[in-house]
Structure 1
Amino acid sequence: MTRKTVRIAMNGVTGRMGYRQHLLRSILALREQGGLDLGDGTLLWPEPVLVGRREHALRAMAERHGIGEWSTDLSAVLADESVDIYFDAQVTSARESALKQAIAAGKHLYTEKPTATGVDGALELARLARAAGVKNGVVQDKIFLPGLVKLKRLIDGGFFGEILSVRGEFGYWVFEGDWQEAQRPSWNYRAEDGGGIVVDMFPHWEYVLHELFGRVTTVSAHVATHVPQRWDEEGKPYPATADDSAYGIFQLEGGAVAQINSSWAVRVNRDELVEFQVDGTHGSAVAGLRNCRVQHRSATPKPVWNPDLPVTESFRDQWQEVPDNAVFDNGFKAQWELFLRHVVLDESYTWDLLAGARGVQLAELGLKSSAEGRRYDVPELTL
């Protein structure tokens, strides 16, 4: 078997998501399994080059995982002709300019989202990448989660009949940082640093809805900053200038309606941190990160509203668990594998910078909808 090395400049992997999901559980996991078998006698070997601003953190990470190269000089790394792919997991405000540098250097791109701070910038990136002829991909990890894979299986099998509505609940309580350390970095709660739950989560909801149910055609949203003061990593108080909660209603192509609540100021009373309930004429399902439960119309009970009597049945017990029927790998790793195959074998790949721009557009229109108290159409984006 021929071994082909692909060198990947990984920028921002000292951060929580970049390290855990992209470096540790994707690229290093591929190396631990011996590489990616491309099925044509070629074994692809990913070689990470760590990039970031904090020299001590990069050095420690490289030593801990046996990674041979790291640098604080992005320009020098991009000038290295042996580097094939540039990956970006930086804070949102730093991403757009770095991606432009990588495009100018002729590197293939794989990036976290949002890809830019505004839809114009996101579309410009997509156009620049197309003009430069570089392959590009945007992380859209949630459609690779076992629960949503099972949900997609139900949709493709016609389980729901006509899909009527989608209801999503996402979120958990993020500690303020005064008496318990916050689970998320402080920049997430500063609008001037690119923070906010709308710019973070609406791009996710765009591709989940688009891939599973249909393109979003209108958006109506209300956003809030429920916790106005938080404490940063040094224990210093700061004003939370970004939204921590968003309540959105999305009209979908084909007529279904989606309602999704997103909040970092909600305590969890559900089985998973995110759940989607899909109701159709023939059946319903509730899907989370890993699990999916269904209730077919032939097995739907007949509840009767009577507030004077206690409930005598467990409604949750009336649903049936959807079996795995497959071994599910880490969703980030699964998408990395598809993108690497796209780069090396030119296999089809749809989650590109244009798809990323749709997510930025939905976030931008969601914020505008909330600020102006009105519903907005979501125009279809093209290059």
Structure 2
Amino acid sequence: MASVKFENITKEYPKGIRALKNINLYIDDSEFIVLVGPSGCGKSTALRIIAGLEDCTEGNLYIGGQPVKNVRPKDRNIAMVFQNYALYPHLTVFDNMAFGMKMRKTAKAEIKERITGAAEMLHIEELLGRKPGELSGGQKQRVALGRAIVREPGVFLLDEPLSNLDAELRAQMRIEIIKLHKKLGTTFIYVTHDQTEAMTMADRIVVMKDGTIQQTGTPKIIYENPANIFTAGFIGSPRMNFIEAAVILYEDSILLKTDSFTLPLDKTAYNKDILKKYSGRKLIAGIRPEDIDCTAGNNGYVIDAVHEITETLGYEDYVHFDVSGEKITARSGRKEKFKEGTSVKISLDLKRMHLFDKESKKNIIY
């Protein structure tokens, strides 16, 4: 078990391409951290620097409190699970799991003991005599995890390990990996572009974009208090609705005026003194689909809308509306039925609304 610390880490490739820009991050011993972001955000580069497969251009990396900049990958006490499993096709599952230990000349009795323990933990005891070609995708992923477990590393690095699996198997393997982390009590650093994996698995999420950290926090904090427009839009499905509007002071009220409707900002969760600073300026208002009531209930501020289309998922619907040119999506139960083109009234829960500075893109509460 070990902590991991990024200290002013920058990674620059030829032609001035910066994959990471002055990254500072502390990952506690036994923590499950998920690095999440779109392709090219730098999350896999960060993982490869921890593994020693890439060298940072600037800054320092510490594992277990010790600097590892000049420490070879095999001496870093880490194990990595890749997206493509990387199993030897000509070896049995047992020999795949034993390969690293044999190279380190581990005693045969210890090899057998470790593999038996890992196989029982992952429920793959009956697969030890098979070769990878005889396994399903989920079984191969379990073997790859088992090969990492038998190394007894201080840090597990998992690089999009579930992306090749179908949806049902991904959900099953998410649960298995969470259970595995709890059993082992080891530091897990998990890279994914899938926000569902990030939200369901992480102790803390690190949201990344363009080589920088946008926000770090628990899944609850990231979801309920996004630091900026990128985090607010990236985390959550369907994505948060965004509307550009101007702040207006009218008598004793603070209003948010869009091209199609006006909202009373004094009913939001934001401090009035903060809101007054934005008088005459434009903000980006954000509200999540689940904070919009398609039945114009009494919990929110009612506006007029036109129903465009409904996406039916079975257990719920995503309902898309047009509000004088603004496109708004609501999450709805299965009871509400709308005809295309019908005028309806919907209500917005203003207490759940987020406000972002138009220029900086940051939540004005930060």
Q: Which has the higher strand share?
A: 2
TM-score (norm 1): 0.28
Kindly indicate whether structure 1 or structure 2 has the higher relative contact order, using CA contacts under 8 Å at least 6 residues apart.
1
TM-score computed with the length of structure 2 as normaliser: 0.29
Structure with greater helix percent: 1
